[in-house]
């Protein structure tokens, strides 16, 4: 079998695993199944990336050639995202065992089945070369995420999941409307075909509206300000494991799809011309960076702090897109990966705190730094990565982003990046200050350091933040190749 | 062997075991590692070593030339002295912070390119703040946070400056900066924040007096002096720095006169003394640059000595306000003697170290025919002697008897102070070894008749003035808490300016956050009695509304 023939199994493994998992009894077996399926998916994704760095891979399902059947088309950009997805999921699983036991006390088969479905959906969105298929997988992953969020112990999780469901459905519907318009005008759903046929009909109002619907639909999934309102509650009340997984992956995939539509389907010389996308994306990115960071300053719940910080970080990524340069695109892809690492580490840290102390409200975390030094040191180090200090992955992102802004001749954007990072110092500092500097309230219940089963994966993730801050060959190399692949797609 | 051994790695590696070792072993370790680091630094040979590739750049971890060596020597020396001084402190975190901080400072000094410099620069901020926080008081925590915020901002400015410089020149090598674009000014700004140049100096007198007794020794030696080094390397002969430096000397002295806390007084004198160095960098002649390097060298030693003396008082008497101290000479004679060595050094008394270095910078100003600068630098010298050499010791060790009878400082503190004092004296008496390691081989003799006469006149008349005005000064001391209060209220510090609006905005935002939902709730209640249901569905509605708005904007903007 060639690598192109193995490639679809990175999606199929979790997709097939999900119904099996749903039927498994108890708590250990579903988790063990995931532990086989998800790393398998990662291995395949890794092999795919390795091959895709040289040339794009093609796979036609059922041997139907692309215009008729569904085809996977994988170049460096989506292979990179796929590795991030499967990698984060794999790294989270060992940690998940304890944390999920805490959040989902009884049968866990359905929970892990939803997790596998969400992963399969996200992987599918990433791999596919068919726009309708994007919509289908988007719905699969979204529906699974609504279910996962609703598993949260807090009753407000239901409401959060419900709101996410409404907004997610609106987003998906918008995407579907846009895709429908494209299909009406061109008669094809294959991305490569669309790219060939769109220029001929580019001057119609329908195409303008299609692009607008697609961008808004994806911006909703991406939680780009001002369409972010569903995100804070969803991340806050979801089970710790789900928060970590979704924060590190879901929005990234939405951004990837947006890039794919802009660069491959519409192509920049069309997409940025028929609508003034660049200034709008820049404006929204700035709004996201500043308002997200600002709101994060005043949150009382540490998970909510991170949720708003995610909104700000999405702004960084969109900023790279709005620059419309190869350097900007590289920075965007790079930050997608690095932010996945950062947020996974931070949410894992908070999940560990929640597991031991029961609450991640900042006022309840006072003095916990002395009771749980390993957990909070890990949180502090991951915080450094979020702020963007060397030698962490976050620094690499910031470096490339500022570089890209200067490169594009828009140095004033740098000021916004700096202000947002300064605010990050403050909101990360607030959490750590409570944990390390303030005394433990005398009436607080005793809290002990977390078990090794939680600490070890957490520290591995923190270590990854530092590793990818020092050795940038994989990340920068893949991000540059991904940006090239997206740009090359634009050449036809 | 030492050719490839970066002193920073030694210090980083040596820091970790401090947490695990028992008290006795910890002490031995704390003497061993700085000694090894000093040996490693002394073994450094000029050249460039340690080339690594990062982000597609070829970085030079070690670029060793006479300029970096001067700073490396004195940084290694002060680590030894400071570690001895801190030997009695059983706080692993503090010692680890001191080691990594000193290692980072060495890294900055030896960095051959701007990216390496930046990495160590940030590490310095991150490690040094623990020397403040470990005082473990509420004010220290708050001051530490302001400190880290200022340095985070400074670091970001520096980072952007480096990137802009790279875009302008295509190089990240660290030498005299080749452009005069945005990169030049941003990097300068980043350096000046660490050099505590007004109006960007506020973090220093704000945070240093809150640091631990032993931590302030490292703080005073490393952060501002790495900035001086960076300025010397990147910005020699920048006219702006001449005036800024001269202004700093007077600014620091003036504010020091208004302060009651002895460690805060000495902190303001760091600003003043760094001013001499900044002015020296700005003058840019080889005499001035040599003077800057020499003054950084001597300043680190005597300022550490002064702060060790003040720290000994704080440690033993438990307080550091001049109005609460007095008469300590009875029980702390050695501290007094050693402190006075430092005080005479900073006042540039002949035969003490300050004399052989400060006069170089002042003379360089004269040789450059800058009368105003010369006058400013000389006047600042008067103020320095007045407050560090006379006022502080008078009100702390003599003056009104406070009734305090603290014991003499512990032996390790005295030994550390004695080493620093001996070095101050040695350099003052025999400056040739110091002159020999200066980077720009200039021929200079401090002990000319003219220099001696000028300094002695200045100091004698300052002393006379102090004697005559003593009554007024004493009267001031009685109300110096009030002056303290005035300073805190009036000091035009950046921090005060920054933190006040932030606090106000914070309050306003919180109030708004509280008021807006209440307002909305009351509106909804007015319209609908079962308000809760409406309130709950409101966010979804607003999300849908925003969606519609964004879609409308996108479509309308596409109309042609």
b/e sequence A169-198, b meaning 16+ C-beta within 10 Å? ebbbebbbbbbebbeebbebbbbbbbbebb
For chain B, the domain total comes to 3
CB contact under 8 A, A472 and B164: no
Mean pLDDT of B490-498: 48
**In Å, how far is A150's CA from the nearest CA of chain B?**
17
CB contact under 8 A, A167 and B557: no
* Nearest chain A residue to B536, by CA: A159
> Which strand (E) or helix (H) includes residue A332?
helix A326-357
Higher pLDDT, A381 or B532: A381
Chain A residues inside the 8 Å CB shell of B157: 418
Chain B residues inside the 8 Å CB shell of A219: 550
Q: Of the ranges A447-456, B473-482, B493-502, which one carries the lowest mean pLDDT score?
A: B473-482
Chain A residues inside the 8 Å CB shell of B551: 174, 212-213, 216
CB contact under 8 A, B555 and A402: no
Q: Measure the CA angle with vertex B221, ends B215 and B226; round to 5°.
A: 125
Q: Are residues B345 and B199 in the same domain?
A: no
The C-alpha atoms of residue B457 and residue A369 are separated, in whole angstroms, by 58
The C-alpha atoms of residue A62 and residue A245 are separated, in whole angstroms, by 32
User: How many angstroms separate the Cα of A31 from the Cα of each of A21, A121, A148, A355?
Assistant: 8, 19, 15, 18
Structure tokens at A472: 């940038």
Size of interface A-B (CB pairs under 8 A): 113
The C-alpha atoms of residue A75 and residue A52 are separated, in whole angstroms, by 5
CB contact under 8 A, A433 and B141: yes
CB contact under 8 A, B156 and A422: yes
Q: Are residues B22 and B164 in the same domain?
A: yes
Q: Which of A418, A470, A475 to mutate to probe the B interface, most B CBs <10 Å?
A: A418
| pLDDT tens-digit map of B108-120 | 999 999 999 999 9
Q: Which of A406, A410, A430, A431 to mutate to probe the B interface, most B CBs <10 Å?
A: A406
Last residue of a domain, one of B212, B235, B258: B235
Q: Are residues B550 and B481 in the same domain?
A: no
Structure tokens at B154: 């400074």
Nearest to A331 by CA among A486, A197, A467: A486
On the 0-12 / 13-18 / 19+ scale of CB atoms within 10 A, B185 is middle
Structural domain includes residue B242 = no
ipTM of the complex, rounded to two decimals:
0.86
pLDDT of residue A58: 86
Which residues are CB-neighbours of A411 under 8 A, at least 6 positions away?
A405, B164, B182
Structure tokens at A479: 């991000």
pTM: 0.87
| pLDDT tens-digit map of B211-232 | 999 999 999 999 999 999 999 9
Q: Which of B53, B554, B555, B557 to mutate to probe the A interface, most A CBs <10 Å?
A: B554
Q: Are residues B453 and B506 in the same domain?
A: no
Mean pLDDT of B60-68: 89
CB contact under 8 A, A402 and B167: no
Last residue of a domain, one of B172, B206, B235: B235
CB contact at 8 A, B356 and B427: yes
How remote is the C-alpha of A356 from its chain's centroid?
27
The chain-wide mean pLDDT, for chain B, equals 84
Structural domain includes residue B243 = no
CB contact under 8 A, B543 and A166: yes
Q: Are residues B211 and B266 in the same domain?
A: no
Q: Given its phi and psi angles, is residue B47 left (phi above 0), alpha (psi -120 to 50 degrees) or beta?
A: left
Which residue's structure tokens are 């990072």?
A: A421
CB atoms within 10 A of CB B489: 8
Per-residue pLDDT tens digits of chain A, which is 492 residues long: 788 888 899 999 999 999 999 999 888 899 999 999 999 999 999 999 999 888 888 888 877 877 778 888 898 888 999 999 999 999 999 999 989 988 888 889 999 999 999 999 999 999 998 999 999 999 999 999 999 999 988 888 898 999 899 999 999 999 999 999 999 999 899 898 898 888 888 888 889 899 999 999 999 999 998 888 889 989 999 999 999 999 999 999 999 999 999 998 888 888 888 888 899 999 999 999 999 998 898 888 999 999 999 999 999 999 999 998 999 999 999 999 999 999 999 999 999 999 998 888 988 888 898 889 999 999 999 999 999 888 899 999 999 999 999 988 888 899 899 889 989 998 998 899 889 888 888 887 888 898 999 999 999 999 999 999 988 888 898 999 999 888 876 443
Q: Map residue B63 onto helix, strand or coil.
A: strand
CB contact under 8 A, B167 and A406: yes
> Which strand (E) or helix (H) includes residue B364?
helix B353-367
The C-alpha atoms of residue A98 and residue A121 are separated, in whole angstroms, by 25
> Shortest CB distance from B547 goes to which of A216, A275, A429?
A216
* Nearest chain B residue to A396, by CA: B55
Nearest to B118 by CA among B129, B107, B103, B127: B107
Chain A residues inside the 8 Å CB shell of B498: none
CB contact at 8 A, A230 and A164: yes
CB contact under 8 A, B554 and A389: no
CB contact under 8 A, B152 and A387: yes
**In Å, how far is B44's CA from the nearest CA of chain A?**
26
CB contact under 8 A, A216 and B118: no
pLDDT of residue B546: 85
**In Å, how far is B478's CA from the nearest CA of chain A?**
35
Structural domain includes residue B389 = yes
CB atoms within 10 A of CB B52: 11
Q: Are residues B529 and B386 in the same domain?
A: no
CB atoms within 10 A of CB A326: 15
* Nearest chain A residue to B145, by CA: A429
Query: Percentage of residues in chain B with pLDDT exceeding 70?
Result: 87
Evaluate if residue B2 carries a pLDDT over 50: no
Evaluate if residue B529 carries a pLDDT over 70: no
Task: Give backbone dihedrals phi and psi of B141, rounded to 5 degrees, phi first.
Answer: -60, -45
Which residues are CB-neighbours of A441 under 8 A, at least 6 positions away?
A366, A367
Mean pLDDT of B236-261: 89
Chain B residues inside the 8 Å CB shell of A212: 551, 554-555, 558
Task: For chain A, give every domain's residue range.
Answer: 276-492
The C-alpha atoms of residue B327 and residue B56 are separated, in whole angstroms, by 62
Structural domain includes residue B241 = no
**In Å, how far is B195's CA from the nearest CA of chain A?**
21
The C-alpha atoms of residue B529 and residue A251 are separated, in whole angstroms, by 39
Q: Are residues B532 and B419 in the same domain?
A: no
Q: Are residues B450 and B480 in the same domain?
A: yes
CB contact under 8 A, B145 and A429: yes
Nearest to A126 by CA among A171, A169, A86: A86
Q: Are residues B471 and B542 in the same domain?
A: no
Structure tokens at B285: 């002649």
Last residue of a domain, one of B470, B491, B512: B491
CB contact under 8 A, A219 and B550: yes
Structural domain includes residue B442 = yes
Which residue's structure tokens are 């956050």?
A: B513
Mean pLDDT of B113-142: 91
| pLDDT tens-digit map of A234-268 | 999 999 999 999 999 999 999 999 999 999 888 88
CB contact under 8 A, B558 and A227: no
Evaluate if residue B193 carries a pLDDT over 90: yes
| pLDDT tens-digit map of B66-82 | 999 999 999 999 999 99
pLDDT of residue B319: 86
> Shortest CB distance from A212 goes to which of B163, B166, B551?
B551
Bridge partner list, B63: B48
Could you tell me the sign of the dihedral formed by the alpha carbons of B432, B434, B437, B438, in that order? negative
The C-alpha atoms of residue B230 and residue B154 are separated, in whole angstroms, by 14
How remote is the C-alpha of B271 from its chain's centroid?
8
Q: Identify the band that residue B483 occupies on the pLDDT scale cut at 50, 70 and 90.
A: very low
Evaluate if residue B484 carries a pLDDT over 50: no
Q: Considering only CB atoms, which residues of chain B are within 8 Å of chain A? A: 54-56, 118-119, 122-123, 126, 133, 141, 145, 148-149, 152-153, 155-157, 159-160, 163-164, 166-167, 182, 506, 509-510, 513, 536, 539-540, 542-544, 546-547, 549-551, 553-555, 557-558
CB contact under 8 A, A389 and B159: no
Structural domain includes residue B411 = yes
Which residues are CB-neighbours of A312 under 8 A, at least 6 positions away?
A288, A289, A290, A291, A292, A293, A296, A420, A423, A424
Nearest to B149 by CA among B180, B174, B125, B175: B125
**In Å, how far is A163's CA from the nearest CA of chain B?**
6
CB contact at 8 A, B365 and B377: yes
Q: Are residues B39 and B109 in the same domain?
A: yes
Structural domain includes residue B191 = yes
pLDDT of residue B505: 65
Chain A residues inside the 8 Å CB shell of B120: none
CB contact under 8 A, B549 and A226: yes
CB contact under 8 A, A391 and B550: no
Q: Are residues B130 and B267 in the same domain?
A: no
The C-alpha atoms of residue A48 and residue A63 are separated, in whole angstroms, by 19
**In Å, how far is A406's CA from the nearest CA of chain B?**
7
pLDDT of residue B490: 47
Q: Are residues B303 and B411 in the same domain?
A: yes
Could you tell me the sign of the dihedral formed by the alpha carbons of A463, A469, A473, A479, in that order? positive
Q: Of the ranges A229-233, B18-22, B503-507, which one carries the lowest mean pLDDT score?
A: B503-507
H helices of B208-285, in order, are 215-234, 239-257, 262-283
Q: Which of A177, A374, A389, A403 to mutate to probe the B interface, most B CBs <10 Å?
A: A389
| pLDDT tens-digit map of B413-472 | 999 999 999 999 999 999 988 998 898 876 788 888 888 888 888 888 888 888 877 766
Biggest CA pair distance of chain A: 73
> Shortest CB distance from B547 goes to which of A227, A280, A421?
A227
Which residues are CB-neighbours of A26 under 8 A, at least 6 positions away?
A107, A108, A109
pLDDT of residue B507: 58
| pLDDT tens-digit map of B143-185 | 888 888 889 989 999 999 999 999 888 888 898 887 778 889 9
CB contact at 8 A, A85 and A122: yes
CB contact under 8 A, A280 and B553: yes
Structural domain includes residue B240 = no
CB contact under 8 A, B551 and A174: yes
Which residues are CB-neighbours of B405 under 8 A, at least 6 positions away?
B330, B331
Evaluate if residue B267 carries a pLDDT over 80: yes
CB contact under 8 A, B160 and A414: yes
How remote is the C-alpha of A288 from its chain's centroid?
16
Task: Residue B302: give the domain boundaries.
Answer: 250-491
How remote is the C-alpha of B23 from its chain's centroid?
30
Q: Which of A229, A234, A327 to mutate to probe the B interface, most B CBs <10 Å?
A: A229
Q: Map residue A151 onto helix, strand or coil.
A: coil
* Nearest chain B residue to A381, by CA: B126
How remote is the C-alpha of A358 from its chain's centroid?
26
Pairing mode of beta strands B57-64, B47-54: antiparallel
Q: What share of chain A is helix, strand, coil (3-state, %, to 5)?
A: 80, 5, 20
pLDDT of residue B516: 54
CB contact at 8 A, A458 and A338: no
H helices of A24-75, in order, are 28-52
User: How many angstroms separate the Cα of B4 from the Cα of each of B43, B47, B113?
Assistant: 10, 11, 17
Chain A residues inside the 8 Å CB shell of B542: 229
> Shortest CB distance from B509 goes to which of A159, A227, A298?
A298
**In Å, how far is B110's CA from the nearest CA of chain A?**
18
């Amino acid at each position: 079998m060639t690598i192109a023939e193995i490639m679809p199994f990175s999606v199929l493994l979790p997709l097939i695993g999900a119904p099996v998992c749903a039927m498994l009894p108890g708590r250990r077996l579903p988790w063990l199944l995931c532990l086989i399926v998800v790393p398998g998916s990662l291995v395949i994704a890794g092999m795919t990336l390795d091959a895709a760095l040289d040339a794009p891979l093609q796979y036609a399902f059922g041997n139907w050639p692309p215009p008729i059947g569904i085809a996977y088309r994988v170049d460096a950009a989506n292979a990179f995202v796929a590795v991030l997805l499967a990698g984060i999921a794999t790294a989270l699983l060992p940690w998940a065992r304890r944390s999920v036991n805490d959040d989902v006390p009884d049968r866990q088969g359905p929970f892990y089945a939803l997790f596998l479905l969400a992963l399969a959906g996200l992987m599918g969105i990433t791999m596919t070369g068919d726009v309708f298929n994007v919509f289908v997988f988007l719905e699969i992953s979204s529906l699974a995420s609504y279910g996962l969020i609703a598993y949260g112990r807090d009753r407000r999780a239901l409401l959060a999941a419900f709101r996410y469901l409404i907004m997610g459905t609106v987003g998906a519907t918008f995407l579907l409307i846009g895709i429908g318009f494209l299909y009406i005008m061109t008669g094809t759903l294959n991305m490569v075909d669309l790219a060939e046929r769109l220029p001929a009909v580019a001057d119609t109002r329908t195409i303008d509206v299609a692009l607008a619907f697609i961008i808004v639909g994806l911006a909703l999934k991406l939680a780009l300000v001002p369409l972010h309102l569903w995100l804070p509650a969803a991340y806050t009340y979801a089970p710790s494991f789900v928060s970590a997984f979704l924060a590190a992956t879901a929005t990234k995939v939405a951004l990837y799809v947006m890039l794919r539509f802009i660069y491959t389907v519409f192509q920049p010389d069309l997409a940025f011309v028929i609508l003034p996308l660049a200034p709008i994306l820049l404006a929204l990115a700035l709004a996201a960076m500043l308002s997200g960071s600002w709101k994060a300053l005043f949150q009382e719940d540490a998970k909510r702090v991170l949720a708003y910080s995610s909104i700000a970080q999405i702004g960084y990524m969109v900023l790279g897109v709005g620059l419309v340069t190869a350097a900007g695109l590289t920075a965007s892809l790079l930050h997608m990966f690095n932010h996945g690492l950062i947020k996974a580490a931070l949410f894992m840290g908070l999940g560990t705190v929640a597991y031991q102390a029961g609450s991640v409200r900042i006022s309840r975390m006072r003095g916990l730094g002395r009771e749980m030094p390993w957990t909070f040191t890990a949180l502090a180090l991951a915080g450094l990565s979020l702020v963007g200090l060397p030698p962490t992955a976050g620094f690499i992102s910031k470096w490339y982003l500022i570089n890209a802004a200067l490169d594009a001749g828009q140095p004033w954007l740098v000021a916004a990046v700096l202000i947002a990072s300064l605010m990050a110092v403050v909101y990360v500092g607030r959490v750590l200050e409570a944990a390390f500097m303030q005394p433990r309230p005398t009436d607080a219940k005793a809290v002990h350091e977390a078990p090794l089963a939680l600490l070890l994966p957490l520290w591995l993730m923190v270590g990854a933040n530092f590793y990818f801050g020092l050795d940038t060959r994989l990340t920068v190399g893949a991000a540059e190749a991904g940006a090239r692949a997206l740009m090359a797609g634009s050449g036809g | 062997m030492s050719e490839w051994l970066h002193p920073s790695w030694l210090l980083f590696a040596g820091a970790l075991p401090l947490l695990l070792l028992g008290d006795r072993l910890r002490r031995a370790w704390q003497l061993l590692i700085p000694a090894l680091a000093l040996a490693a630094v002394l073994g450094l040979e000029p050249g460039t070593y340690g080339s690594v590739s990062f982000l597609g750049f070829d970085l030079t971890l070690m670029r060793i030339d006479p300029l970096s060596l001067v700073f490396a020597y004195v940084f290694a020396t002060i680590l030894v002295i400071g570690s001895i001084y801190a030997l009695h402190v059983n706080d692993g975190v503090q010692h680890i912070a001191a080691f990594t901080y000193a290692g980072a400072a060495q890294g900055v000094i030896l960095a051959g390119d701007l990216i390496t410099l930046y990495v160590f620069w940030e590490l310095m901020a991150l490690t040094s703040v623990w020397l403040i926080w470990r005082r473990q008081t509420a004010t220290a925590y708050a001051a530490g946070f302001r400190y880290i915020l200022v340095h985070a901002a400074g670091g970001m400015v520096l980072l952007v400056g480096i990137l802009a410089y790279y875009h302008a020149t295509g190089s990240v090598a660290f030498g005299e900066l080749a452009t005069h674009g945005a990169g030049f000014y941003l990097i300068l700004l980043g350096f000046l924040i660490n050099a505590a140049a007004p109006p960007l100096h506020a973090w220093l007198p704000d945070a240093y007096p809150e640091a631990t007794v032993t931590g302030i020794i490292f703080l005073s030696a490393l952060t501002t002096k790495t900035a001086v080094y960076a300025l010397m390397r990147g910005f020699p002969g920048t006219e702006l720095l001449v005036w800024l430096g001269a202004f700093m000397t007077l600014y620091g002295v003036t504010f020091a006169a208004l302060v009651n806390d002895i460690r805060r007084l000495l902190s303001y004198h760091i600003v003043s003394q760094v001013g001499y160095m900044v002015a020296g960098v700005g003058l840019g002649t080889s005499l001035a640059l040599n003077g800057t390097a020499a003054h950084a060298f001597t300043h680190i030693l005597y300022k550490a000595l002064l702060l060790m003396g003040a720290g000994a008082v704080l440690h033993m008497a438990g307080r550091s306000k001049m109005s609460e101290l007095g008469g300590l000479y009875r029980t702390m004679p050695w501290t007094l003697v050693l402190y006075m060595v430092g005080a005479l050094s900073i006042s540039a008394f002949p035969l003490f170290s300050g004399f052989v270095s400060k006069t170089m910078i002042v003379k360089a100003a004269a040789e450059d025919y800058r009368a105003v600068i010369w006058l400013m630098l000389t006047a600042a010298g008067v103020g320095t002697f007045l407050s560090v050499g006379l006022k502080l010791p008078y009100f702390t060790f003599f003056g009104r008897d406070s009734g305090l009878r603290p014991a003499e400082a512990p032996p390790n503190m005295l030994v550390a102070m004695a080493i620093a004092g001996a070095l101050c004296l040695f350099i003052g008496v025999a400056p040739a070894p110091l002159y020999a390691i200066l980077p720009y081989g200039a021929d200079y003799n401090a002990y000319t008749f003219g220099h001696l006469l000028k300094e002695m006149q200045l100091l004698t008349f300052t002393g006379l003035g102090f004697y005559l005005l003593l009554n007024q000064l004493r009267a001031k001391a009685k109300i110096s808490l009030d002056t303290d209060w005035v300073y805190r209220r009036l000091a035009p510090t950046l921090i005060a300016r920054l933190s006040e609006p932030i606090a106000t905005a914070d309050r306003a935002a919180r109030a708004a956050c509280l008021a807006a939902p209440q307002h909305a709730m009351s509106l909804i209640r007015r319209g609908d009695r079962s308000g809760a249901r409406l309130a709950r569905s409101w966010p979804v509605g607003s999300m849908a509304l925003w969606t519609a708005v964004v879609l409308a904007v996108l479509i309308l903007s596409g109309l042609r």
